[in-house]
């Protein structure tokens, strides 16, 4: 959509006190004072029907908004740069600026210019900032994504503890969580916050620099004083009108500090107005499945690698019918649980809907009629709501009552049913007071039902009759003057006026007072018209004022039930998610998983939820596979040709775990999962050039994170570790990583590799077993069966895949020739012996018997080794020796660093 503002659309200069030359004019002084009070935000300075931006703000905002940069008046001998946006579609521009990471202070006129004029000729209109719009404090539908939560997060530290607090002010959800340092990136990635408040001291800590970088634009550093835990306690007590926080559960100092910082920031940005918030609740870190940012990205849980929702797991499983349900599904997918009991409770809810299709259909039908209760309530609480929000509350509550009846006495849904509070009296009052169709903004009037309020009805009649009087007056003037084309019109400048075309001017009576003459017509005022106008205006104004009063009293009635409405909104969302997951389960043939405290991981007939649906669209079917990572075979080494389905298999098991632990049925014929506490996945490789990390570096950083954090309850998915470097470095690293996972981390895991040499490890590591993806060679073609079976792959068929990809035939033939020779050489080097040759260095240093090594003369490496007396080497000598040998190898035998497959 083109939202650029034509240069001429700015209001004329001089509409308010002037921006004049020389000293700061009163207007500039007012502007500059407001600007100084709100550093770090662009100032939207209200002037009539526009928000204007001046000086530096104009220079920054004009290109960001793609609107014309103009100038207005002069200051200190220079033109003042300016740009502006019309208020009627200011939200559009705000949206653009917020998206680009700006914060915007909205400065309004606090009085009518006429009132200012009454104080004397050049008096300034009073203005002040009424709100600072920041990415974490949005409430408007136009600025928010309807189907994802928008969190404002604060991170705080106290006495060595670290904690988070977060709110979604568009629904009032308020949480705290104590986190370990190592768990901070995972917690922040889970929340995917719109804005993260960080004390300057933490922001400057070098060990956290990577975390803040990861969060990017969202981070807002604030003075350390904003995170004072004593002040925080006071703030929380005030906000929730309690004398002590004891009843809220035991918050740590850092949690208090973070929660207090959030309240402080809300007060600052909302200018003292606090939205309705739930009482803060503590989330225990161990209650949720820990998923670090890289794993989250790799598994494409809520967005695909390209950043869009399309292609993600969320898009594949979302069958919710309300926005609130969509948000809750997204939250649950981002934060699956790590305790079997609450998972089972969620699964019970889903199962009850799977088993009763009729109830499911009825509930989903009723939910479709449910507006976004939570967001409507939040706007009303901040004074930003309108009649449509009141009506949304009424309709939502009405449906809540209907849904409670539809659920009946189903035991699995009793917990939800109890929280659906229909508030019948409030609904009756709202529905009785409001028209069926109401305007968005209260100031537009016309939303209170006719017949509801006697005085209002009288005023409206008066106003509407007056309008009929205008029509009658027009008719009267036409007859009296004989000017049939005479019209009575209205604009903001002249009010009501009579317009006569130029050709008829001779017939205009003397009593008409000329106001404005234009090319084709002349405009007049008359005494009768002025009187009528004043009657219309006063009746209209009084009617509107009365309607606004009635709106305010309805708003207060709604807010008085705010907590009950918020609870109902949450219950409706939970109902939507349960019914939607049941719909998905039936549609996609998912089964209820068993999630318990055991150490099992037994998936029978597992499928990849996203790939399966994609294949189905092309009428292809997905080949189901089993995966059993029970205690005696917790680690699988998966080999198989390119394109055989290794990555798909790895991911599907991680995704089945996520689905099971978020409380969803899973794509399998049966699944038993001993609850997983941390999920790690390193799949694929991408450069992170922006952060100066190469592909290999990214791979190693992520692998380091896994080896340091994975424990016996973790599930680790590793795909092609080590492929980003020279063969032997890569193989050695992969080798050592598998050993570490097996011996030290002792986690459940799947490790896919093209280093077939690694399969030799199975004979030494008791819980490691080898599996492969089967292929069939048929008439010179390779057929991928996508079946996982015990065993190892003998070839990678990389050249076959390259042929499918369209590499030139000459290149393919040459590659086949090289492969043949390399394989001949490899056969003679007996790589399987590697397993017996630990430590690894010995294996890596043994000269290969490829063509480049086949000389009769002893090689340089052999000569060096001949001179070495191992017992006389210091550790430093040994290390230098390794470097020397390695250098020789690279100089003499670059081919050894080509991957041989």
**Binding-site ranges for ligand ATP (CB under 6 A):** 611, 615, 622-623, 640, 642-648, 786
Question: Measured from the CB of residue 709, what is the shortest distance to ligand ATP in angstroms?
Answer: 25
Question: In angstroms, rounded to a whole number, what is the distance separating the alpha carbons of residues 499 and 673?
Answer: 81
Q: Which residues, in sequence order, are CB contacts of 353 under 8 Å at separation 6+?
A: 359, 360, 363, 578, 579, 581, 582, 583
Transcribe 63-113 into DSSP letters: HHHT---EEEEEETTEEEEEEEEEGGGHHHHHHHHHHTT--EEEEEE-S-H
Residue 27 labeled ligand binder? no
Residue 275 labeled ligand binder? no
* List of long-range contacts for 821-826, beta carbons under 8 Å, 24+ apart: 821/851, 822/850, 822/898, 822/900, 822/901, 823/900, 825/849, 825/850, 825/851, 825/900, 826/850, 826/900
Residue 432 labeled ligand binder? no
- Token readout for 553 is 């009293």
Degrees to nearest 5, angle at CA 141 with 403 and 216: 115
In the block, tokens 């609480």 appear at: 381
151 or 797, CB closer to ligand ATP? 797
Q: Name the E strands within 485-592.
A: 487-491, 495-501, 513-517, 521-525
Question: In angstroms, rounded to a whole number, what is the distance separating the alpha carbons of residues 569 and 571?
Answer: 5
Question: Measured from the CB of residue 819, what is the shortest distance to ligand ATP in angstroms?
Answer: 16
Question: In angstroms, rounded to a whole number, what is the distance separating the alpha carbons of residues 501 and 691?
Answer: 70
Partners of 52 in beta bridges: 45, 84
433 or 648, CB closer to ligand ATP? 648
175 or 649, CB closer to ligand ATP? 649
Number of Cβ within 10 Å of residue 632's Cβ equals 10
375 or 786, CB closer to ligand ATP? 786
Please give the radius of gyration of the chain, using alpha carbons only, rounded to the nearest integer.
36
340 or 640, CB closer to ligand ATP? 640
Q: What's the Cα-to-Cα distance from 871 to each of 783, 867, 868, 874, 877, rounded to whole Å?
A: 54, 12, 9, 8, 11
19 or 622, CB closer to ligand ATP? 622
Contact 163, 156 (CB under 8 A): yes
Question: Measured from the CB of residue 669, what is the shortest distance to ligand ATP in angstroms?
Answer: 14
Question: Measured from the CB of residue 776, what is the shortest distance to ligand ATP in angstroms?
Answer: 14
372 or 699, CB closer to ligand ATP? 699
516 or 613, CB closer to ligand ATP? 613
Backbone angles phi, psi at 513, to 5 degrees: -100, 120
Question: Measured from the CB of residue 702, what is the shortest distance to ligand ATP in angstroms?
Answer: 17
Contact 862, 885 (CB under 8 A): no
- Token readout for 305 is 């690698």
Partners of 85 in beta bridges: 51
269 or 653, CB closer to ligand ATP? 653
Best CA proximity match to 665, nearest among 674, 673, 656: 656
DSSP, collapsed to helix, strand or coil, labels residue 149 as: coil
Contact 592, 567 (CB under 8 A): no
Residue 875 labeled ligand binder? no
Give the nearest residue (CB) to ligand ATP.
645
Question: Measured from the CB of residue 304, what is the shortest distance to ligand ATP in angstroms?
Answer: 14
Question: Measured from the CB of residue 685, what is the shortest distance to ligand ATP in angstroms?
Answer: 11
275 or 645, CB closer to ligand ATP? 645
Q: What's the Cα-to-Cα distance from 380 to each of 375, 557, 561, rounded to whole Å?
A: 9, 11, 12
566 or 644, CB closer to ligand ATP? 644
615 or 701, CB closer to ligand ATP? 615
Residue 461 labeled ligand binder? no
Q: Which residues, in sequence order, are CB contacts of 231 under 8 Å at separation 6+?
A: 260, 264
Question: In angstroms, rounded to a whole number, what is the distance separating the alpha carbons of residues 425 and 448?
Answer: 18
Residue 730 labeled ligand binder? no
Residue 641 labeled ligand binder? yes
Exposure letters 430-459 (e unless 16+ CB within 10 A, then b): bbebbeeebeeebeebebbeeeebeebeeb
Question: Measured from the CB of residue 644, what is the shortest distance to ligand ATP in angstroms?
Answer: 4
Residue 645 labeled ligand binder? yes
Q: What's the Cα-to-Cα distance from 238 to each of 130, 191, 724, rounded to whole Å?
A: 22, 27, 56
187 or 752, CB closer to ligand ATP? 752
Question: In angstroms, rounded to a whole number, what is the distance separating the alpha carbons of residues 346 and 364?
Answer: 17
334 or 642, CB closer to ligand ATP? 642
Question: Measured from the CB of residue 646, what is the shortest distance to ligand ATP in angstroms?
Answer: 4
Stated as kind and residue range, the H or E segment containing 842 is helix 840-845
Please give the distance of CA 26 from its chain centroid, rounded to a whole number.
43
DSSP, collapsed to helix, strand or coil, labels residue 179 as: strand
778 or 883, CB closer to ligand ATP? 778
Backbone angles phi, psi at 421, to 5 degrees: -100, 110
* List of long-range contacts for 798-801, beta carbons under 8 Å, 24+ apart: 798/641, 798/642, 798/754, 798/901, 800/641, 800/642, 801/641, 801/642, 801/643
Degrees to nearest 5, angle at CA 874 with 859 and 727: 45
Q: How buried is residue 346: exposed, middle or buried, by Cβ count under 10 Å (0-12/13-18/19+)?
A: buried
Q: Which residues, in sequence order, are CB contacts of 315 under 8 Å at separation 6+?
A: 309
Question: Measured from the CB of residue 739, what is the shortest distance to ligand ATP in angstroms?
Answer: 23
Residue positions forming the annotated binding site: 640-647
Residue positions forming the annotated binding site for ATP: 640-647
């Amino acid at each position: 959509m083109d939202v650029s503002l034509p240069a001429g659309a700015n209001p004329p200069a001089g509409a308010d006190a002037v921006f004049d030359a020389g000293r700061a004019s009163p207007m500039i002084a007012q502007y500059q004072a407001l600007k100084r009070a709100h550093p770090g935000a662009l100032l939207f300075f209200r002037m009539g029907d526009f928000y204007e931006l001046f000086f530096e703000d104009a220079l920054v905002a004009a290109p960001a908004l793609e609107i014309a940069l103009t100038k207005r008046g002069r200051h200190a001998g220079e033109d003042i740069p300016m740009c502006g946006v019309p208020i009627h579609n200011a939200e559009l521009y705000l949206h653009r600026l917020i998206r680009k990471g700006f914060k915007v202070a909205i400065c309004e006129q606090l009085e009518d210019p006429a009132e200012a004029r009454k104080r004397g000729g050049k008096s300034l209109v009073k203005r002040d900032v009424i709100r600072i719009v920041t990415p974490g404090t949005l409430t408007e539908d136009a600025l928010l994504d309807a189907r994802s939560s928008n969190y404002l997060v604060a991170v705080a530290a106290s006495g060595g503890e670290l904690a988070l607090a977060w709110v979604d002010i568009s629904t009032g959800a308020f949480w705290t969580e104590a986190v370990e340092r190592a768990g901070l990136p995972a917690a922040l990635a889970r929340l995917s916050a719109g804005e993260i408040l960080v004390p300057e001291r933490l922001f400057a800590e070098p060990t956290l620099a990577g975390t803040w970088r990861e969060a990017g634009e969202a981070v807002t550093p604030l003075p350390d004083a904003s995170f004072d835990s004593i002040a925080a306690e006071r703030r929380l007590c005030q906000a929730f009108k309690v004398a002590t926080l004891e009843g809220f559960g035991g918050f740590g100092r850092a949690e208090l500090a973070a929660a207090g910082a959030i309240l402080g920031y809300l007060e600052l940005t909302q200018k003292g107005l606090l939205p309705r918030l739930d009482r803060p609740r503590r989330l225990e870190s161990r209650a949720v499945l820990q998923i670090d940012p890289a794993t989250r990205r790799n598994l494409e849980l809520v967005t695909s690698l390209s950043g869009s929702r399309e292609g993600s797991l969320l898009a594949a499983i979302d069958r919710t019918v309300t926005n609130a349900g969509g948000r809750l599904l997204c939250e649950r997918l981002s934060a699956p649980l790590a305790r079997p009991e609450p998972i089972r409770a969620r699964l019970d809810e889903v199962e009850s809907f799977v088993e009763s299709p009729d109830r499911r259909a009825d509930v989903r039908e009723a939910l479709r009629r449910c507006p976004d209760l939570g967001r409507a309530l939040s706007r009303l609480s901040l004074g930003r709501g309108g009649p449509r929000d009141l009506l949304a509350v009424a309709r939502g509550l009405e449906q809540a009552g209907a849904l409670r009846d539809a659920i009946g006495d189903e035991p699995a849904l009793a917990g939800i049913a109890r929280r659906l509070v229909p508030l019948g009296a409030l609904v009756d009052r709202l529905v009785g007071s409001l028209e069926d169709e109401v305007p968005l903004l209260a100031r537009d009037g016309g939303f209170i039902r006719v017949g509801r309020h006697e005085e209002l009805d009288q005023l409206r009649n008066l106003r509407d009759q007056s309008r009929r009087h205008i029509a009658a007056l027009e008719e009267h003037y036409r007859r009296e003057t004989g000017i049939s084309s005479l019209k009575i019109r209205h604009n903001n400048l002249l009010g009501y006026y009579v317009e006569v075309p130029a050709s008829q001017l001779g017939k205009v009576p003397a009593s008409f007072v000329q106001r404005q003459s234009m090319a084709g017509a002349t405009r007049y005022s008359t005494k009768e018209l002025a009187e009528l106008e004043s009657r219309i205006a006063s009746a209209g104004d009084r009617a509107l004022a009365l309607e606004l009063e009635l709106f305010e009293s309805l708003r207060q009635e709604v807010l008085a039930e705010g907590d009950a409405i918020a609870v109902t909104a949450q219950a409706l969302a939970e109902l939507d998610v349960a019914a939607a997951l049941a719909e998905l389960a039936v549609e996609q043939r998912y089964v209820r998983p068993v999630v318990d405290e055991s150490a099992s991981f037994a998936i029978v007939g597992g499928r990849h939820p996203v790939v399966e649906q994609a294949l189905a669209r092309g009428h292809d079917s997905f080949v189901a596979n089993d995966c059993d990572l029970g205690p005696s075979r917790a680690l699988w080494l998966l080999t198989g040709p390119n394109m055989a389905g290794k990555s798909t298999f790895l991911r599907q098991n991680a995704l089945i775990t996520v689905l099971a632990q978020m409380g969803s049925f899973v794509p399998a014929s049966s699944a038993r999962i001993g609850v997983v506490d941390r999920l790690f996945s390193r799949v694929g490789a991408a450069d992170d050039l922006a952060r100066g990390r190469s592909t290999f570096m990214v791979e190693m950083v992520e692998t380091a994170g896994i080896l340091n954090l994975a424990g016996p309850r973790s599930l680790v998915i590793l795909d092609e570790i080590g492929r980003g470097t020279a063969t032997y470095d890569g193989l050695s690293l992969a080798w050592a990583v598998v050993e570490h996972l097996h011996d030290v981390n002792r986690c459940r895991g799947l490790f896919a590799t093209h280093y077939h040499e690694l399969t030799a490890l199975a004979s030494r590591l008791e819980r490691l077993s080898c599996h492969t993806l089967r292929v069939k060679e048929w008439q010179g073609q390779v057929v991928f069966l996508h079946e996982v079976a015990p065993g190892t792959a003998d070839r990678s068929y990389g050249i076959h895949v390259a042929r499918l990809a369209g590499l030139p035939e000459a290149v393919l033939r040459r590659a086949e020739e090289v492969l043949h020779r390399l394989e001949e050489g490899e056969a003679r080097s007996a790589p399987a012996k590697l397993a017996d040759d630990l430590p690894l260095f010995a294996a890596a240093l043994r000269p290969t018997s490829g063509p480049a090594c086949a000389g009769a003369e002893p090689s340089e490496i052999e000569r060096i080794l001949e001179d070495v007396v191992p017992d006389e080497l210091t550790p430093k000598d040994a290390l230098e020796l390794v470097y020397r040998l390695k250098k020789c190898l690279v100089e003499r035998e670059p081919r050894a660093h080509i991957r041989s497959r």
